[in-house]
């Protein structure tokens, strides 16, 4: 079981240099936990990337929408179902079309 915080979640939502490693870690061990603040921290990090013009407003919106859909557990964090690799991959595949971190 792994603990994922925003620093591990954001690379799954926005294409950046750590994205491949983050996806590989999730695939290797799908049993994860996170805390209720991860959604808030991740949203903040995505907004910071948008302000820095590392992602477009549309890309940021898409990433936040995927985050919301995966955070099906409400204010307590991510639901177990949402964090399964298949669900994560489906969400990230949808976001990959337009979400890229322009490092």
Q: Is residue 79 part of a domain?
A: yes
71 has a pLDDT exceeding 80: no
For residue 87, give the nearest of 77, 98, 79 by alpha carbon.
Answer: 79
Q: Is residue 8 part of a domain?
A: yes
Out of 13-22, 64-73, 93-102, least confident range: 93-102
Tell me the Ramachandran region of residue 77: left when phi exceeds 0, alpha when psi lies from -120 to 50, beta otherwise.
left
3-state SS class at 60:
helix
Q: Is residue 58 part of a domain?
A: yes
Residue 78 pLDDT grade (very low, low, confident, very high; cuts 50, 70, 90): low
What's the total number of domains in the chain? 1
**Domain that includes residue 57, residue range:** 2-96
Q: Is residue 103 part of a domain?
A: no
Tokens standing for residue 98: 């337009």
pTM of the model: 0.68
The CA-CA-CA angle for residues 42, 56, 40, to 5°, reads: 15
Average pLDDT rounded to a whole number, residues 52-65: 95
Half-sphere exposure of 22 (CA within 13 A, CB side): 20
């Amino acid at each position: 079981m792994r603990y994922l915080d925003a620093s591990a979640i954001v690379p799954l939502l926005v294409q950046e240099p750590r994205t491949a490693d983050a996806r590989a870690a999730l695939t290797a061990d799908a049993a994860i936990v996170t805390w209720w603040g991860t959604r808030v921290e991740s949203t903040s990090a995505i907004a910071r990337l948008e302000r820095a013009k590392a992602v477009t407003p549309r890309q940021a919106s898409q990433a936040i929408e995927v985050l919301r859909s995966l955070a099906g557990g409400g204010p307590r964090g991510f639901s177990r179902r949402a964090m399964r690799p298949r669900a994560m991959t489906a969400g990230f595949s949808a976001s990959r079309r337009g979400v890229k971190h322009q490092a």
